[in-house]
Amino acid sequence: MAIIVQKYGGSSVADVQRIRQVAERVMRTRREGHDVVVVVSAMGDTTDDLLALAKQVTPNPDRRELDMLLTAGERIAMALVSLAIRELGGEAISFTGSQSGIITNDRHVDARIIEVRPFRVQDELARGRIVVIAGYQGVSYRREVTTLGRGGSDTTAVAMAAALGAEYCEICSDVDGIYTADPRVAPAARRIATVSYEETQELAESGAKVLNAQAVEFAKEKGIAIYARATTSPLPGADPSADGTVVRRYPPRLPGRVVGVASERDILLLEATAPGTTGRSSTPAADVLAIFDAHGVAGKQLHSAHDRVTLVVSRENLHEEERLRDALGARYGGHVQLLDNLGALSVVGAGINASFENLRRGTDALARVEIVAHDLTTSSFRITWLVLRERLDEAVRALHRTFIEEPGPAVP
Ligand code: ADP
Ligand code: ASP
Ligand code: MG
């Protein structure tokens, strides 16, 4: 019997009615003759609500205590889904991340999975049960409860699929796959039938929250096929790309072609200039970054020159912003700024930077709608412009028009 892992996101378990629908879908899978492991997110906006509650108590909530609080969300959902499956006559048992053997490092709020020891899950599957797992959480070697960063239930599902040797991992959401842009922002966006791990990872890291970036990284490492589908879609048939997106290893198809546009709204841009940044360290970057590490803040897109550092910081897992600002201000005064009016806009595709044509075409498309980039970075799979946050959605639509709706020839 093949093992199937199915993950249901927050909107899919937002109320009792939807929880019943999830239970029915799980039972259908079971009746097809599969062993089923279900990973659930917290109901609806529970995680945001819990975070808001913590912020009412303190502007700088301690990361360990946040993890104690936030893991409660998935725990509620797992018990309700398990009860709903039982109500339909299924034999289900729910487990927390710790009980399922998800072992992480001890970096609270955005821990990484180091190892999965799924013995209890395997025992229950062997007994014929459906196992329901609380996503987004694990336990460190020091036995501290941890969370995996926002969107981390996807990561739980893929890591569990790898540890159990599952046939595939279904990520079930309110959207029926990965689109060429967030369909809420760009109504002309189209579903992508098949896409490579690398492109999906870049889309996720650029803000396409339909899949978590770490989850894709795991899937790639272990060769797990991900089926991104709507919870309301039928179970995957002979061709799961017909009504969903399949993420797996693919040879680059049309190198140079943009596959999608993504954006991240909630970022900060750190700009640090000498002499304030030079301090005791040999480079300004090392000096400033020590403060980020001391506060457990992960950054992306670092650029360091001899007298200047810029760093993009995602606000997603940053919960002590005031404390960070105070620490930077005390150390560097006016030489460091955290700009809070920008968003990141990216186009993704294998080989898109083989020449600068895509970069120039994108920058021209933005100029036509009078959007000027504050900053620009590239990697082999991605071009990222930082633009005014208030123009971000418009910028996504402009690039989607240029690269997806009227793409022209692929750039070699
Ligand atoms: P879940 O709670 O199921 O994990 P998320 O809210 O995390 O769902 O992710 C699904 C949402 O991601 C969609 O509703 C959609 O608005 C958004 N999204 C952003 N970029 C994309 C994209 N490229 N393709 C599909 N959905 C996207
Ligand atoms: N509930 C968590 C979040 O909102 C994890 C998840 O949904 O994947 O980020
Ligand atoms: Mg999600």
Q: What is the pLDDT of residues 356-404, one digit of tens each?
A: 999 999 999 999 999 999 999 999 899 999 999 999 999 999 999 999 9
Greater model confidence, 286 or 342: 342
Mean pLDDT of 217-240: 96
Confidence of residue 409 (pLDDT cuts 50, 70, 90): low
pLDDT for residue 83: 98
DSSP conformational letter for 261: E
pLDDT for residue 252: 62
User: Encoding tokens for residue 321?
Assistant: 């912003």
pLDDT for residue 306: 78
Instruction: With a cut of 90, say whether residue 178 has pLDDT above it.
Output: yes
Strand partners, 171: 7, 228
Confidence of residue 146 (pLDDT cuts 50, 70, 90): very high
Out of 49-53, 312-316, 394-398, least confident range:
312-316
Q: Which atom of ligand 2 is nearest to the CA of 150?
A: 9
User: Encoding tokens for residue 119?
Assistant: 């013995």
Q: Which atom of ligand 2 is nearest to the CA of 212?
A: 8
Cα distance between residue 350 and residue 141, in whole Å: 38
pLDDT for residue 335: 87
**% of the chain with per-residue pLDDT over 90:** 82
In which order are the strands placed within the sheet that holds 226-230?
92-95, 130-134, 35-40, 3-8, 168-173, 226-230, 245-247, 194-195
Tell me the CA–centroid distance for residue 207 and ligand 1, in Å: 10
Tell me the CA–centroid distance for residue 375 and ligand 2, in Å: 30
* 302 neighbors 347 (Cβ within 8 angstroms): no
Confidence of residue 307 (pLDDT cuts 50, 70, 90): confident
What is the Cα gyration radius of the chain? Answer: 22
Tell me the CA–centroid distance for residue 174 and ligand 1, in Å: 7
Cα distance between residue 202 and residue 187, in whole Å: 21
DSSP conformational letter for 354: S
Instruction: With a cut of 60, say whether residue 136 has pLDDT above it.
Output: yes
Confidence of residue 253 (pLDDT cuts 50, 70, 90): low
* 356 neighbors 211 (Cβ within 8 angstroms): no
Summary count for the chain: helices (H), strands (E): 11, 20
Mean pLDDT of 234-247: 96
> Between vectors from CA 73 to CA 67 and to CA 75, what angle results, nearest 5°?
95
Q: Which atom of ligand 2 is nearest to the CA of 151?
A: 8
Q: Whose CA is nearest to atom 4 of ligand 2?
A: 47
pLDDT for residue 244: 97
Which helix (H) or strand (E) segment holds residue 345: the answer is: strand 342-348
Confidence of residue 1 (pLDDT cuts 50, 70, 90): confident
Mean pLDDT of 255-277: 86
pLDDT for residue 12: 98
Cα distance between residue 276 and residue 299, in whole Å: 20
Tell me the CA–centroid distance for residue 178 and ligand 1, in Å: 8
Q: Which atom of ligand 1 is nearest to the CA of 171?
A: 3
Cα distance between residue 382 and residue 393, in whole Å: 18
Instruction: With a cut of 50, say whether residue 171 has pLDDT above it.
Output: yes
Confidence of residue 277 (pLDDT cuts 50, 70, 90): very low
Q: Which atom of ligand 1 is nearest to the CA of 228?
A: 25
pLDDT for residue 194: 94
Greater model confidence, 304 or 73: 73
Q: Whose CA is nearest to atom 9 of ligand 2?
A: 150
Out of 31-45, 74-88, 274-288, least confident range:
274-288
Confidence of residue 60 (pLDDT cuts 50, 70, 90): very high
Tell me the CA–centroid distance for residue 282 and ligand 2, in Å: 39
pLDDT for residue 276: 46
The reply to whether omega before 275 is within 30° of 0 (cis) is: yes
Residue type at 134 in one-letter notation: A
Closest ligand relative to 181 C-alpha: 1
Closest ligand relative to 10 C-alpha: 1
pLDDT for residue 284: 63
pLDDT for residue 19: 98
Listed in order, strand segments (DSSP E) in 121-244 are 130-134, 137-140, 145-147, 168-173, 194-195, 226-230
Tell me the CA–centroid distance for residue 318 and ligand 2, in Å: 15
* 301 neighbors 377 (Cβ within 8 angstroms): yes
Closest ligand relative to 261 C-alpha: 1
pLDDT for residue 151: 97
Tell me the CA–centroid distance for residue 30 and ligand 2, in Å: 25
Closest ligand relative to 8 C-alpha: 1
Tell me the CA–centroid distance for residue 212 and ligand 3, in Å: 7
Average per-residue pLDDT in the chain?
A: 93
Q: Which residues lie with the beta carbon below 6 Å from any ligand 2 atom?
A: 9-10, 41-42, 47, 73, 135-136, 150-154
pLDDT for residue 278: 45
The closest alpha carbon to 297, from 328, 337, 330, 340, belongs to: 328
Which helix (H) or strand (E) segment holds residue 34: the answer is: none
Q: Which atom of ligand 2 is nearest to the CA of 73?
A: 1
| Mode of pairing for the β-strands spanning 137-140 and 102-104 | parallel
Tell me the CA–centroid distance for residue 228 and ligand 3, in Å: 11
Tell me the CA–centroid distance for residue 17 and ligand 1, in Å: 21
- 93-123 pLDDT, tens digit per residue, is 999 999 999 999 999 999 999 999 999 999 9
Residue type at 251 in one-letter notation: P
| Mode of pairing for the β-strands spanning 267-273 and 342-348 | unpaired
Confidence of residue 283 (pLDDT cuts 50, 70, 90): low
Q: Whose CA is nearest to atom 6 of ligand 2?
A: 151
pLDDT for residue 282: 53
Instruction: With a cut of 70, say whether residue 132 has pLDDT above it.
Output: yes
* 277 neighbors 284 (Cβ within 8 angstroms): yes
State the Cα torsion 18-24-27-28 to the nearest 10°: -120
Q: Which residues lie with the beta carbon below 6 Å from any ligand 1 atom?
A: 9-12, 41, 151, 173-175, 178-179, 181-184, 208-210, 260
| Mode of pairing for the β-strands spanning 245-247 and 194-195 | parallel
Confidence of residue 410 (pLDDT cuts 50, 70, 90): low
Q: Whose CA is nearest to atom 21 of ligand 1?
A: 182
